[in-house]
Chain A
Amino acid sequence: MKILVIEDEQSLRENITNYLNVDGNICESCSALNPALQKLSDYDYDCVLLDIGLPDGEGFGVLQYLRSNQKNEGVLIISARNSLEDKLKGLDVGADDYLTKPFHLAELKARLMAVYRRKALNTNNKLIFNEIAIDVQGRTVEVNETAIVLTRKEYDMLLYFIANKGKVISKNAIAEHLWGDEMDMHDNFDFIYTHVKNLRRKLLDAGGKDYLTSIYGIGYKFVG
């Protein structure tokens, strides 16, 4: 997957590109609106990560550019502005998703993968990971061609882990992903453990490998 990160905050930009630059992804970045427009006119990308507040203009300009040039890049807006107006405006102008700062990199990756799947894999909704096959449209999972029944939370968790395979994911990030950052779940992470345990058991029961490793003190890792 080829990604363009448009973000003016240098360290944030570096963290994002470092996190995304695995599994054969190519991640390029720029820090302002005009170079971004230049890059978008010169190259094609699969996905664009877009910060709205750029030093030389509003990031909405990128969306307008993409639309008026019939370009098919999926766009994920990242913004510190959390007003509903901005969210609606972004989605109206053609963004595929909207993520507010601060966010976890794992969340960013999962959302980016979802945008990419919707855009690029429109014809084939199957997400295959070794013996696990996920139909993202029907929200069904097969292991070794045997259907397994996951709860909504387990399903979301599995997709989240696969999107971030090989990365350590903190319990905070998982909680925020599953319950939303507006819900204060942080006095108690026990229920994450319960969901992870159930998911692992269901995958193992269907003959899958054990991909989930618990990282003591911080969270989990889905080892690809």
Chain B
Amino acid sequence: MKLSAHYTRTSIYITLTVLLAGAVIYYFAINYIAQQQLDQGLQQQLIEAEEYVRSSNLNPQQYDLDRDHAVFTRTNEQKLQKRFFDTTYFNPKEQRKEAGRAVEDLVELKDTNYKVVITISRAGQKYLIEVITIITLVLLAGLLLVLFIINKYMLNGLWKPFQLTLKEIKQFNIADVDQFKGKPSKVDEFAELNEAIREMSLRVTYDYLNLKQFTENASHEMMTPLAVVTTKLDTLIQDETLSAGQLEQITDIYSSINKSSRLNQSLLLLAKLENKLITDNESINLETVLPEKMLQFQELMQTKDLSFEHNLQPKQVLASKYLIDILLNNLFSNAIRHNNSGGVIIIELNGEQLSIKNTGANHSLNEDLIFERFQKGKESQGTGLGLTLVKNICQHYGYDIHYTYDSGQHTFILKF
């Protein structure tokens, strides 16, 4: 949910609660004030009734005025606490009962006590309260509506600089020369945010360039001595006086050098991958790349008497050609290297996944460990980085890779 929606919701909840509580208090306050008003009126009536009783000197009679009436009852009680109370009022004009308010008191006339009850209608007051309630509710609804509209349409405008900043961050590419600029904003918070992001982008770009330079320098420093050794050996083997035994040793040295230079390249590549330094994406059709790979590995397959089975459907991926090459090289050489003589490799490609299945050892490999660095079988001649590279390349492109084993069949499934 968007922040503005959160804000709208919270502010509406709070407003609603405050207004409702206010309305309840308001209602009771008005009710109370109106009642005081009525009671004052009744008190006035009572005084007038007493005046009337005393001045007439007659037995007091019941009388009705416009909206109130008084009833006098002879009583033997000597004392009666004056009290105001709610009751019903019979409106003689409209011939129906209405809510009423009454006062009760004693009036003394010629040693006789009369209980007087004066009742007046509360209809007018009720009507007033109803009107006030309706006006209050309408105001409340109006206020909520206005609040909602303001939050939804006007506060969104306030977030505009934020949206622009966000858009720029999303488009920010570390390898680009252009650095983060940010739109100037009058809002302090956004200006500060832009400033912080600008500083961060500078730092990140600096780190990126530093790392890039480091990997290049490391590559240079490690590869140059290996190049010297290789070319020295190339010169050395021209010597015709060397024995076959010595030459065989040189072959071993060649192999070791080759292995360490590939190891070097793999480590540098891993460092680059982990720091997302590879950005040369292009559209690659795996349906055409896979048969080329099969052709490339043909001789290796023949020496182990392996056969390919494949079922390929078109699948375009947006990736670095170089990385896809390494990915497939590693999966293929893995499937060949760990295969039985006379075995098969089954390759299936569809829109969702690529699976490479090979026959091999009769036991499952540990899925948690095979993608780890330098985890390899004792008999393996590889660098122990092949599947780590595969995993990292998959992570780089958001693919999911996992390994399964089923009765002598080892399968690597890559989900796009």
Known: A100-B223, A101-B223. A188 touches B300 (CB 8 A): yes
Instruction: Say yes or no: is A121 at the interface (Cβ < 8 Å to chain B).
Output: no
| Cα-based distance from A102 to B228 in the complex (angstroms) | 8
| Cα-based distance from A9 to B224 in the complex (angstroms) | 8
B228 touches A81 (CB 8 A): no
Query: Within residues 220 to 269 of chain B, which ones have a CB less than 8 A from any CB in chain A?
Result: 220-224, 226-235, 237-238, 244-248, 250-251, 254-255, 257-259, 261-262, 265, 268
B325 touches A15 (CB 8 A): no
Q: Which of A29-37, A124-132, A133-141, A177-185 lies on the face that meets chain B? A: A177-185
| Cα-based distance from A17 to B226 in the complex (angstroms) | 18
Instruction: Say yes or no: is B188 at the interface (Cβ < 8 Å to chain A).
Output: no
Instruction: Say yes or no: is A23 at the interface (Cβ < 8 Å to chain B).
Output: no
B326 touches A170 (CB 8 A): no
A172 touches B247 (CB 8 A): no
| Cα-based distance from A106 to B230 in the complex (angstroms) | 11
Q: Which residues on A sit within 8 Å (CB–CB) of B245?
A: 217
Most A CB atoms within 10 A — which of B228, B244, B320, B337? B228
Chain B residue with the shortest CB-CB distance to A188: B303
Q: Which residues on A sit within 8 Å (CB–CB) of B325?
A: 182
B234 touches A82 (CB 8 A): no
Query: Within residues 202 to 219 of chain A, which ones have a CB less than 8 A from any CB in chain B?
Result: 215-219
- Contact-residue size bin, chain B (C-beta under 8 Å from the other chain): 35 or more
Instruction: Say yes or no: is A168 at the interface (Cβ < 8 Å to chain B).
Output: yes
The proximity string for B residues 103-134 relative to A, scoring 1 for CB distances below 8 Å and 0 otherwise, is 00000000000000000000000000000000
Contact of B219 among A19, A80, A167, A188 (CB under 8 A): A80
| Cα-based distance from A65 to B236 in the complex (angstroms) | 36
B237 touches A101 (CB 8 A): no
Q: Which residues on A sit within 8 Å (CB–CB) of B224?
A: 9, 12, 80, 101
Smallest Cβ distance from A86 to chain B, in angstroms? 8
B235 touches A101 (CB 8 A): no
Smallest Cβ distance from B299 to chain A, in angstroms? 4
Q: Which residues on B sit within 8 Å (CB–CB) of A105?
A: 230-231, 234-235
- Known contacts A85-B280, A176-B258, A181-B261; 19 additional CB pairs below 8 A are A12-B228, A15-B234, A18-B235, A80-B220, A80-B221, A82-B265, A84-B278, A102-B229, A103-B231, A105-B230, A168-B237, A184-B262, A184-B383, A185-B300, A186-B258, A190-B303, A191-B302, A195-B299, A217-B244
